[in-house]
Amino acid sequence: MKSDAPLLEVDDLHVEFHTRDGVAKAVNGVSFAVHAGETLAVLGESGSGKSVTAQAIMGILDMPPARIARGAIRFQGRDLLEMGAEERRKIRGRQVAMIFQDALSALNPVLSVGYQLAEMFRVHRKMSRKESKAKAIELMDLVKIPAAKARVNDFPHQFSGGMRQRIMIAMAMALEPDLIIADEPTTALDVTVQAQVMDLLAELQREFHMGLILITHDLGVVADVADNIVVMYAGRIVERAPVHALYKTPAHPYTMGLLESIPRLDLKGQDLAAIKGLPPNLTRIPAGCAFHPRCPYVQDICRAETPPLQSVTGEQVSPHRGSACHFWKEALDGSIGR
Ligand code: SF4
């Protein structure tokens, strides 16, 4: 069950980076909400603004060069951007935790994983050494590390990539946060291990009724775990939808391109369709629809007018559905794309 009040609301967020080439508009008016018990996937290529959005929520952006030019990030109704550093630090880890892509560099190589997990309880919960070690083993069990008790004194390099990512999940779960942000949590893993780690995350999210934001460039990994998806391109949301609606009837040509580039077992031997071209330089975002230089359905209006993210209506109506394409109706009725 989802409560009505969102856990997190990102409202008209603008983040810029001041570079030698000019101002890079990394996040350009992004708004979304996440409720307790909901998994939201934030999808996009590198440079789409998805990770910068996550870092802004966590308060870990390097400022400068980054600058939050506008917007609000409300967590349980309170604007994180208005809080002092100490108050934000308390929320980070205890109420909002993050899982990074690269577990090996996120873990300290010279400390045992048990020590690093136990430290969370010693520092934040003031537990004794014995109590905190027992909690570390409990967490390792929770994330299904075999023989947790025997391995608690092992170092990060003694675990496989998948097991290390489970340890990162354990660290994020340690203080039972309300919201976890996982930034490409399975990118470094092979496909089978990816699926196991995703299943574990989804299972814990359901069991603890947390909000989960899953940042990814890979539409294939979120199909079974996300409730809703926002698709980002050049710092903006170009489509948002419940996951099944997005797979069935995408309402934006960029989403169509991403779906066509997912490998499929039933099309063995066929070349994968790739979206032509590259994402734009964020200091020189194309006028009109930023996707127009790569879009197979581009028209004159696309070069001149920026399509707003508008609600998708008609048969596909849903409070979650929106598309920033002048031709979303044609996308939905199949006159472009399919
Ligand atoms: Fe393509 Fe035009 Fe839609 Fe942009 S607005 S995605 S260029 S059809």
DSSP reduced 3-state for 292: helix
DSSP letter (8 states) at residue 226: -
Is the CB of residue 241 less than 8 Å from the CB of residue 53?
no
Predicted pLDDT of residue 10: 96
Tokens of 213: 């934001």
Q: Is the CB of 291 under 6 A from ligand 1?
A: yes
Kindly report the backbone phi and psi dihedral angles of residue 311, in degrees, each rounded to the nearest multiple of 5, phi listed first. -65, 140
Predicted TM-score (pTM) of this structure: 0.89
Integer CA distances (angstroms), 148 to 153, 184, 192, 204, 316, in order: 9, 25, 22, 18, 48
Predicted pLDDT of residue 336: 78
Predicted pLDDT of residue 26: 95
DSSP reduced 3-state for 247: helix
Residue in the block written with tokens 């496989």: 160
Is the CB of residue 175 less than 8 Å from the CB of residue 120?
yes
- Render the burial of 101-134: b for 16+ CB within 10 Å, e for the rest: bebeebbeeeebbbbbbbbbbbeeeebeeeebbb
Q: Is the CB of 292 under 6 A from ligand 1?
A: yes
Tokens of 167: 């340890």
C-alpha 286 – ligand 1 centre gap (Å): 12
DSSP character string of 23-62: EEEEEEEEEEEE-TT-EEEEE--TTSSHHHHHHHHHT---
CA distance 107 to 116: 8
CA distance 300 to 48: 24
Burial of 4 (0-12, 13-18, 19+ CB in 10 A): exposed
CA distance 322 to 252: 9
Predicted pLDDT of residue 270: 61
DSSP reduced 3-state for 69: strand
Q: Is the CB of 226 under 6 A from ligand 1?
A: no
Shortest-distance atom of ligand 1 to CA 295: 1
Residue 7's closest CA among 58, 56, 78? 78
The residue to mutate among 258, 294, 297, having the most atoms of ligand 1 within 8 angstroms of its beta carbon, is 297
Q: Is the CB of 231 under 6 A from ligand 1?
A: no
For 314, other C-beta atoms within 10 Å of its C-beta total 9
Integer CA distances (angstroms), 54 to 121, 182, 192, in order: 25, 9, 26
15 forms beta bridges with 27, 68
C-alpha 240 – ligand 1 centre gap (Å): 15
Give the pLDDT of the chain (338 residues) as one tens digit per residue: 445 789 999 999 999 999 888 899 999 999 999 999 999 999 998 889 999 999 999 998 988 889 999 999 999 999 999 998 888 888 887 899 988 877 777 888 999 999 999 998 998 888 899 999 999 998 898 888 899 899 999 999 999 888 888 888 888 888 889 999 998 888 777 777 888 888 888 888 888 899 999 998 888 888 888 999 999 999 999 999 999 889 988 999 999 999 888 765 555 566 666 788 889 999 999 999 999 999 999 999 999 999 999 888 655 455 578 999 999 988 888 887 65
Helix ranges restricted to H, 143-190: 148-151, 161-173
Predicted pLDDT of residue 46: 85
- For ligand 1, atom 3, name the residue with the nearest CA: 325
CA angle 305, 336, 328 (to 5 degrees): 45
The radius of gyration of the chain from alpha carbons, rounded to an integer in Å, stands at 21
C-alpha 260 – ligand 1 centre gap (Å): 17
The residue to mutate among 232, 254, 275, 291, having the most atoms of ligand 1 within 8 angstroms of its beta carbon, is 291
Residues 6+ away with beta carbon under 8 Å from 290: 233, 234, 236, 280, 306
Predicted pLDDT of residue 268: 59
Predicted pLDDT of residue 3: 53
